[in-house]
Amino acid sequence: MSVITKDLLEAIFDKKLYPLKEKIDSLIESIDFFYGKLRKLNSRVDVMEEHSGQVEKENKLLKEEVVKLRNELKIQRESTNDLEQYIRRECIEISGIPENPLENTIEIVIKVGNLMGVENDSG
């Protein structure tokens, strides 16, 4: 029986385990690569989440502004409508009478009013 020395055992183990060591080293290298990619992705996600939070705040402010402007527009429309009605309060439109550039509209209104039986202060 031959004597197996420590150095010989180490050499045999190194020879047998070398392919396994190469695979493990390759796996460690791959894991390090993917870990670096994962850190970059996490960093980008953090930036996107921060940006998303800012966009949400801005969106909320814009929605509030839209509601405010809608209310102001509604008030302005009502005010314009009231003003238009006030301006037209004494206006009358008579149709069916031929237009004459030399006509006196006050006389026409008085005549039409008289024909309708409306009393007026001027005639």
Same domain as 24, residue 55: yes
Per-residue pLDDT of the chain (123 residues; tens, 9 = 90+): 566 788 888 888 888 888 888 999 999 999 999 999 999 999 999 999 999 999 999 999 999 999 999 999 999 999 999 998 888 777 777 778 788 888 888 888 788 888 888 877 654
Same domain as 79, residue 108: no
Torsional class of 96: left (φ above 0), alpha (ψ -120 to 50), beta (otherwise): left
Same domain as 84, residue 105: no
**What's the one-letter identity of residue 54?**
Q
